[in-house]
A and B are shown apart, each in its own frame.
Chain A
């Protein structure tokens, strides 16, 4: 019985649906940026006469190959799919046909990854994991960027929804940071603190050059600090009392990555958007649980 209660508390505890709405809007925004980033690559990476052979891409995928770019592989078809996906982000952000639009975006993201696996970057996987979780989560569709702003538009009636989607994204954030730390502490250059020096010499650095030699002590400290920060961010975000510090640290960390790294801005934006799973509108904290809240029962039907 206690286990049932524990499960119910973990997954079904009621939360303000605006938390989902904020997350949905942020996801739509970063996905739109991602689509804009992919736009110049679409013909060469996703069309049948591009760089990546479609047959090899489909056979290299051990699961089901669901890429929409298998049947629709001409430049015109690919362009139409991109425009459809971009429109889906706008409708999703505005709370229109949200489940369908999320389905469209999930299929789009999955299709890109399955069609061009050798061109994938880390944030592709993060976006697809987020879209998968959101696909089955409450989305707070009555809220849109207009009525979420205080004093703007007519706000819908407050409603509480189960928090399982937020908890899953929180777990995802934990695992993203912690798995990378676990892998890094096993690496010689992270152990010796040299990683950041080599990173700053590479093409990932915005300012590559021999200057790193004069700053090696500080870069060594930055290497260790990175590991500490990656370990700390999810914990600080998870504990309500330290959430603000977690947000500041997380946003600062990812801004640092975006400033000092090249081509890592979208990764930073995606990670910052996931922090919304830990936070929410501060004006209301519903205490009800699913059992005692008719709105929640309604939201399940």
Chain B
């Protein structure tokens, strides 16, 4: 019994150690196939890329602007449910969420989010006909090219602003007034 217990412990610990230490093989940091599935299922992925690339955003603000039948704009927050105002700078998870929603790779999540916004706006005010999502990003290097980044510090030395404001608009999208989405 005790030997069996020891063998079980050693076998389990060795498997766990192999999974953990495989994280040092940075050439293949993302496992594929069954190993990736097991890691995803158990949450034991080994991806520790904390701040390995330079951050570029100073501030991110998101707003939903809807237009009614008369052409008047109405501003709402991007938070669901309830179209609540959200401050991604103060609430870091909203920053991650919206950054990942509106960057390449986030399309799969973006489409249903826009659909959910359309329904929420229709419920909020039946007079609304269309809406767009406005992203105001204050960024140190908007184009994110090596040339731009290399000039950034020179720009600040010469008295230039450390960051510039970029406006990204997604839309317009129709508001779903029938509630069916």
Contact = CB atoms under 8 A, between A and B. Distances in A.
Interface of A: 7-8, 11-12, 38, 40-41, 43-45, 47, 49-53, 55-56, 60-64, 66, 106, 109-110, 113-114, 116, 118-122, 125, 128-129, 132-133, 136, 162, 164, 167-168, 171-172, 175-180, 182-184, 186-190, 194-195, 197-199, 201-204, 208-210, 212-213, 216, 262-263, 290, 297, 300-301
Return the 6 tightest CB-CB contacts between A and B, nearest first: A63-B40, A63-B41, A53-B112, A300-B5, A202-B55, A263-B92
B67 interface: no
Given A8-B6, A175-B46, A210 B13 contact: no
B42 interface: yes
Contact of A184 (B9, B47, B52, B109): B52
Contacts of A43: 81
Given A121-B96, A300-B2, A213 B113 contact: no
A301 B5 contact: yes
B81 A63 contact: no
Given A53-B113, A175-B21, A183 B43 contact: no
B100 interface: yes
B13 A168 contact: yes
Contact of A132 (B43, B53, B58): B43
Chain B interface extent, by class: 35 or more
A133 to B, nearest CB: 7
Interface of B: 1-2, 5-6, 9-10, 12-14, 16-17, 20-21, 23-24, 26, 29, 36-60, 78-81, 84, 86, 89, 91-97, 100-101, 106, 108-109, 112-113, 116, 140, 146, 149, 152-153, 156-157, 162-163
A106 B41 CA distance: 12
Interface of A is mostly: helix
Contacts of A133: 16
Most chain A CB within 10 A, of B43, B81, B163, is at B43
A202 to B, nearest CB: 4
A199 B9 contact: no
